[in-house]
Amino acid sequence: MAEGEFALMQKHLEAALKIDLAKGTAPDSNHRYYAQLVDAAVQQRDPVLLRKYATLAEETATSIDHKLHMAIAHRAWGVMHTLVGEYSQAEVRFKKALEIFTSYPTPWQIGRTLFEMGELARARNEKEQARDHYSRALIAFEELKAAPYATLARAALENVSRV
């Protein structure tokens, strides 16, 4: 997602949140907005935005026990921890997200989480682990015919294999 697209999406979602809150909608009913905002922040790779929206996404999802949105928040925390070099914390979050996504199952979310786990392994210079995660993500994306994400996973896999 391009930077301008995220800014526009963020603006609209935050405006919708304000309208809901002004109407007296319960704050925990906004979990959908926060899940979308944190998912978009993952694409931006911005630790500040990730921390902001992951906190809100996790709080609201936890308050209503919404497992899928909790897993999205866990993955976002994993990305944030990876970006700032907190690899152990990232691994814990990714494993939690993968466990929840697998229990549904949600192949799209599983593929995205495996891709991020590949990014973590690559950052740790664990090439075999990175290849495994990227390969599994690629299989998930190809099964879903999610061509753009399959292309990203394939490129990441080729990149880690070259090094």
Rounded-to-integer distance, Cα 131 and Cα 54, Å: 27
Least confident of 23-37, 81-95, 134-148: 23-37
Q: Are residues 5 and 81 in the same domain?
A: yes
Q: Are residues 160 and 115 in the same domain?
A: yes
* Spacing of C-alpha 12 from chain mean position: 20
Domain region containing 38: 1-86
Does residue 128 sit within a domain? yes
Among 86, 113, 140, give the residue marking a domain's end: 86
Q: Are residues 76 and 127 in the same domain?
A: no
- 106 burial via Cβ count (<10 Å: 0-12, 13-18, 19+): middle
DSSP symbol at 29? G
Rounded-to-integer distance, Cα 81 and Cα 63, Å: 23
Mean pLDDT of 148-161: 95
Q: Are residues 60 and 7 in the same domain?
A: yes
DSSP symbol at 53? H
Does residue 13 sit within a domain? yes
Check: CB of residue 153 under 8 Å from CB of residue 115: yes
Q: Is the pLDDT of residue 61 over 80?
A: yes
Among 86, 116, 131, give the residue marking a domain's end: 86
Q: What is the pLDDT of residues 83-142, one digit of tens each?
A: 999 999 999 999 999 999 999 989 999 999 999 999 999 999 999 999 999 999 999 999
Q: Is the pLDDT of residue 70 over 60?
A: yes
Q: Regarding predicted confidence, which is higher, 32 or 3?
A: 32
Does residue 45 sit within a domain? yes
Rounded-to-integer distance, Cα 76 and Cα 131, Å: 21
Q: How many structural domains does the chain have? A: 2
